[in-house]
Structure 1
């Protein structure tokens, strides 16, 4: 189940970005899901994936894949995603974003690892491995949370990711079968200073991923939202996009957008 999203999330992001960038960073939040076996019918519109073109993606300073599952991009969209990353675009994945595009190598590298399985949702303890990161600096050393404790098909450290949060496996019950080595401590959130999905010769932006965020009520929790917002702001601070670097190849370079977005933000927050 994907979280219910409100425009206030986008508004909050822009308000953070206005004071820190020459122009307002633009972020595309992509939350499409697809069944394991695609069912083509008029009742299942696929318009969102048409946003993944070189021209459209070039406007954004970061892409946020939010709770996606399944084959959410066609070949044209995957090519556009690759081009965007090669040009310095930043990437953020949230929750089940590790459970989509499961056979697309560039995506697997950029997000860090693919989802394997999770035990039933329950209370658990998350240990902060690195408290110096903007996504974790506000968290208690042992963070009590009710969520899905993801297991992964590989260790994100294998592509250069740095683990930020770790699930305390003694704090919850997991009777599932572990078939893969995800490394230790148990990865729950991580970052890549240079996203591994970039091809040779490209300009790597940053990549951030957190597996948390299953329950709707979690998205009303200030601590969780600070974790998410810290990760997004950190990704943008890569200085590889136009909002922060006028010589960059992608992102919003319109300085006037900051004033426009700031003045319209209260209205945009209405859901």
Structure 2
């Protein structure tokens, strides 16, 4: 049974022009993965029941306060039950009033210099999100600076991280099951969503999060996720 992934792209502040392109890109590649996507901007779906259908939740270029108190509590509950989390680009500028979300992202956005071609140094090529990337990856995108160093919570290579993962989501409450978290600061432009290396990076990030096997698609004891079909 494929893993099921909910992609949430609601905005309450700046809205990226690339959101529609990113949805199209992910949808077009679903058949080449072992997971399937559902897309929404409906915050009312964040209840204890609806997220429980998914093996991972992706926050895609969100901004501002995109969940009400009920939705925030539902997201925390989902993560406490072993749900996996992925954040992309401007997701680091969402839910700044919600400390557990900041911990799950790893760091909140601070500012960025002008759009420019930059070199991303791959310090760990063993993760699915970096496997196959060149050691020095040239990309045209916004290079985020963050309000804190995510390595304060977990080890992540050399200075100025732009993408990272957490083996155990940092916001999960004591005594609960921790899934994984993965974040990339890349994903600003429409054009980058047509870049095969970048899409490999994003899809690999989702794969890496799902690989912890805390959810039903991979673990019959999982408390959230897409349950395998009985035969």
> Would you call these one fold, judging by a TM-score over 0.5?
yes
- Separation (CA, whole Å) in 2 of partners of 1:7 and 1:124: 25
Note the 1:56-95 alignment, pairs <5 A.
56-95=50-89
* Structure 2 match to 1:187: 161
- Specify the SS of the correspondent of 2:163: strand
- Separation (CA, whole Å) in 2 of partners of 1:161 and 1:77: 30
- Specify the SS of the correspondent of 2:49: helix
* Structure 1 match to 2:27: 10
- Specify the SS of the correspondent of 2:85: strand
2:149 to 133, 136, 155: 155
- Separation (CA, whole Å) in 1 of partners of 2:147 and 2:25: 34
| Structure 2 length-normalised TM | 0.87
CA distance 1:217–1:130, change in 2 (3 Å)? same
1:102 to 92, 96, 101: 96
Where does structure 1 differ by over 6 angstroms across 4 or more consecutive aligned residues?
none
CA distance 1:6–1:153, change in 2 (3 Å)? closer
- Separation (CA, whole Å) in 1 of partners of 2:39 and 2:172: 20
- Separation (CA, whole Å) in 2 of partners of 1:209 and 1:239: 18
- Specify the SS of the correspondent of 1:130: coil
- Separation (CA, whole Å) in 2 of partners of 1:154 and 1:186: 10
Q: Does 1:221 align with 2:215?
A: no
- Specify the SS of the correspondent of 2:33: helix
Residue deviations 1:137-171 (CA, integer Å, cap 9, x gap): 111111111000100001111222535xxxxxxxx
- Separation (CA, whole Å) in 1 of partners of 2:25 and 2:140: 23
CA distance 1:6–1:100, change in 2 (3 Å)? closer
Higher Cα Rg: structure 1 or 2? Answer: 1
- Specify the SS of the correspondent of 1:109: helix
Q: Unpaired runs of 5+ in structure 1?
A: 18-24, 33-47, 164-183, 257-271
Give the drift of 1:231: 0.6
Residue deviations 1:96-123 (CA, integer Å, cap 9, x gap): 1000001211100001000000011011
- Separation (CA, whole Å) in 1 of partners of 2:75 and 2:52: 10
Q: How many positions carry a matched residue from both structures?
A: 213
Q: Does 1:212 align with 2:212?
A: no
Give the drift of 1:27: 4.9
CA distance 1:2–1:201, change in 2 (3 Å)? farther
Root-mean-square deviation over aligned CA pairs = 1.7
